[in-house]
Structures are given as C-alpha cells and as structure tokens.
Copies of this chain bind each other. A is one copy, B any other.
Amino acid sequence: MRDQYYEQLDSIVDDLVALTNGVRRAVSGATEALLNADAQLAEKVIADAKEIDEAAELIEERALLILATQQPVATDLRQLIATLRMVADLDRMGNLSVHIAKVARMRIPESAVPEPLRPTIVQMAAVADQMIDAASRIVANRDVVAAEHLEDEDDEMDQLRRSLFRILLSDDWGHGVEPAIDLALLGRYYERIGDHAVSMARRVVYLVTGELK
C-alpha cells in the first residue's frame, strides 16, 4: 500500500519532467516557425497545445487524488502542492508558445521578425530554451545549485528585452508600428516563459530547503 503510494509520487515527478520537455519542444517549435515563417510548424504548435493542456490536467488530477485519498503530510504534502503550482506554470508556458506561433502565423509568408531584430529574438529564444531545460533538470534532480544559476539567465533575459526595446525605439527603426508591436509582445512572451521557469525552480528550492525566495 505504502509502496504504491511512493510509486505514485515518483511517477508524478516523471510526468512533470516529461511535460516540461514537451513545453520546451513547443517553445522551440514556435521560435522556428517564427524565424522561418513556417506555416505548417506554426499550425502544429497550435494544434499540439491541446496535448500539453491534457497532460497538465492529468497530472493535476492525480496530484489532487493523492491529496484527497492519502492525506500526505510534511515533505510529500509540500511536493504535491509544489506540483500543482509547477503544472500551472507549465500550462501558462504552453499558452505562451501558442501566442508566439500565432504571431508567426499572422505574418506568413513574411517572418514577423525583421532582420535587425533577428539576433535578439534568436538569443531570447535560446535563453528561454536553456531556462526550460534547466527547470526540467532541477525538477528531476532537485538540484538547488542549478536553481541559483537560473536567476542569472533571468537577468540575461531582462537585458535582452531592454536591448530589444532600444532597437524598436531607435531613430533607425524603419519597419513601422505593426512589427514594433509584434516584437514588443514577442519579447514579453519569451520573458514570461523565462519567469515561469524561474518560478518552477523556486518551488523546488522551497521543497528542498523550506525557504521561499
């Protein structure tokens, strides 16, 4: 009976890691669709979001079921509560990948990202990707040290957003209002994806150390 209980708890962690990897693929698919004006890929990211939703719901239901039937205490309770929050983060990151794919789709056959901003968006997407990858490993291994590094990547994201806005608002910006709005929103989406990765890492730190940053 207790063995089965611990198996259930472990399998929830596995599923959380799998969901994190799924979200990572969604974000990188959305980025590729955006940079290459790839309509088919944009549609795929938008369609696949349903699977992320369903996987998130399933983990949530199972965590709630364990809470309701097993009355876990101490660390196990904290783990399940942390799981519910991380699922909410992942659900939101999945939605943000759909927002990115929809901006991509709206501008096809053009890319929504004009030439002068490509390096910045490529870099923001790369940082977001690293952050999700780190979050996945932090959840899998309860790696508190890696969680601290994640805060540095969050700073890098912040600097990239500022540099994005500098380009959009410079006198050289010759692409008009519409791409500027697209890019401001895209910058925000990548930044929020990073924020949610940080929030996941903080939940793991709290789980391990009992301290909420």
| Chain A residues at the B interface, C-beta cutoff of 8 Å | 57, 64, 67-68, 71, 73-74, 77-78, 81, 84-85, 88, 165, 168-169, 173, 176-178, 180-181, 184-185, 188, 212
Contacts and interface: CB of A to CB of B under 8 A. Distances in A.
Given A71-B73, A184-B184, 12 more contacts: A68-B74, A81-B84, A165-B181, A168-B177, A168-B181, A169-B178, A169-B181, A173-B177, A176-B177, A180-B180, A181-B184, A188-B188
A74 B71 CA distance: 11
Nearest to A92: B92
Contacts of A212: 57
Q: Which of A78, A165, A173, A181 has the most CB of B within 10 A?
A: A181
Contacts of A178: 169
A interface: dominant SS: helix
Contacts of A177: 168-169, 173, 176-177, 180
A165 B188 CA distance: 17
Nearest to A63: B81
A67 B67 CA distance: 10
A179 to B, nearest CB: 9
A100 to B, nearest CB: 14
Contact of A185 (B64, B67, B71, B188): B188
Nearest to A184: B181
Contacts of A64: 78, 81
A38 to B, nearest CB: 24
28 contacts: A57-B212, A64-B78, A64-B81, A67-B77, A67-B81, A68-B73, A68-B74, A68-B77, A71-B73, A81-B84, A84-B85, A85-B88, A88-B88, A168-B177, A168-B181, A169-B177, A169-B178, A173-B177, A176-B177, A177-B177, A177-B180, A180-B180, A180-B181, A181-B181, A181-B184, A184-B185, A185-B185, A188-B188
